[in-house]
Structure 1
Amino acid sequence: MEDLKSSRRDLLDIVKEVDARVEEVFTSAYHDTAAQFERVFSRLFPGGEGRLHLTDPDNMLTTGIEVEARPPGKKIKRLSLLSGGERSLVAVALLVAIFKARPSPFYIMDEVEAALDDTNLSRLLTLFEELRDSSQLIVITHQKRTMEIADALYGVSMRGDGVTTVVSQRLERESESA
C-alpha cells in the first residue's frame, strides 16, 4: 500500500512539473503571438486595431483566446460581424503572427488569399515576401498575383484519361537576373 501511495505522489509531482512547463511555454508563446498580431493586423488593416485576449487569464492551462478585430472606420469587434474577406484577412493575420512569433523552416498555406480583393492581396503578398526571407512558403493558389512572386510553380492537372500530371517551372526573378 505504501508503494502505491509513493507512486501516486511521484506521478502527481510529474503532472505538476509538466503543467508548470506547459503553462510557461504557452504563456510565452501567447505574449509573443499577441504582440505580433497587433503589428501584423495594423499592416493588413492600416488604421485598424487587432488584439488577442485570454478568456481566463488566471488559468493559463484552460484559458481560451479571443480575437478582437476593428478594421479602419468600423466599430465592429466581433469576427462574426465582419465581411467574409475581412474574416479571412483576420485569420491570415493570426497565422502570420504565429509564424513570426514561433518561426518554422517552412509553411504550407492552401488558398489563404482566395477571398481577398486586390488591395488586401497586395498587403498579404508583402507579408509573404517577408516570411520567405527566413522560411520556405508552399502556397496553393489560383491567384495569378500570388504565382507571380513565386520562385517556382507546380501545376497539377488531370488529363482526359484520368491520370494526374504535374508540371513544374522555376521562375527567374528580375532582381536576380539584373
Structure 2
Amino acid sequence: MNENFGTLFTHLFGGGEARLTLVESDDPLEAGLEILCQPPGKKLSVLSLLSGGEQTLTALALIFAVFLANPAPICVLDEVDAPLDDANVTRFCDLLDEMARRTDTRFLIITHHAVTMARMDRLYGVTMGEQGVSQLVSVDLRRAEQMVA
C-alpha cells in the first residue's frame, strides 16, 4: 500500500514524494501511522503542515491506495473536492477516471463543484418544481452529448 500511496501522490502533485511510516510501537496492530509528504518544491513534512488543498490531495492518494490494495464494489466521496481549486479538481477527476479503469469500484461523488459534475457519467439532483414537491432528476451526460452533437 505504501508504494501505491507514493505513486498516487506523485501522480496527483506532478512530482514530489510521500510515504507512510509506523510510529510509537514495533507491533503493527498498536502502532500509529505517520504520513510524510513532500510536494514539489517543498521540504519533507508531516501532513498537518500542508495547506488545506495539499492535505486533501494527500488524503485522496491514501484513500485510493487503500482501494488499489483492497478494492471495494462502491466508494462514496462526499464533497472531497470542496477545498480544491479548479486545477486540483481536474487532477482529482483525472485520478478518479484512472481508478475507475483500474478497479471494478463504482464511485459515487457528492459535489457542488461544476468542474467535477462536468466530468461525471451521470448526474442526479433534486428539484422543486412547485412548493413542497421534490423531484429526483437523472441526466446521463454521455447521452446528452450525443443528442447535442
Query: What TM-score, normalized to structure 1?
Result: 0.72
What is the 5 A alignment of 1:10-49?
A: 33-49=1-17
Out of 11, 14, 23, the position equivalent to 1:55 is 23
Greater percentage in helix: 1
Distance 1:115 1:159 in 2: 31
- Higher Rg: 1
Are 2:90 and 2:116, in contact at CA under 8 Å, matched by a contact in 1?
Answer: no
What is the 5 A alignment of 1:163-178?
A: 163-172=133-142
Distance 1:128 1:162 in 2: 36
SS at match of 2:31: coil
Please name the residue that 1:142 is paired with: 112
Distance 2:72 2:58 in 1: 21
Please name the residue that 2:78 is paired with: 110
Greater percentage in strand: 2
Structure 2 segments unaligned to the other structure (5+ residues): none
Are 1:109 and 1:140, in contact at CA under 8 Å, matched by a contact in 2?
Answer: yes
Answer 1 or 2: higher relative contact order, Cα 8 Å, separation at least 6.
2
Paired residue total: 144
Distance 2:106 2:90 in 1: 19
Measured against aligned partners, the alpha-carbon deviations of 1:110-157 in whole angstroms (never above 9, x if no partner) come to 011111122222211111111222221100011122112211110124
Q: Which runs of 4+ in 1 moved over 6 A?
A: none
Distance 1:125 1:68 in 2: 24
Distance 2:23 2:118 in 1: 41
Are 2:37 and 2:45, in contact at CA under 8 Å, matched by a contact in 1?
Answer: yes
Structure 1 segments unaligned to the other structure (5+ residues): 1-32
CA-based RMSD of the aligned residues comes to 2.2
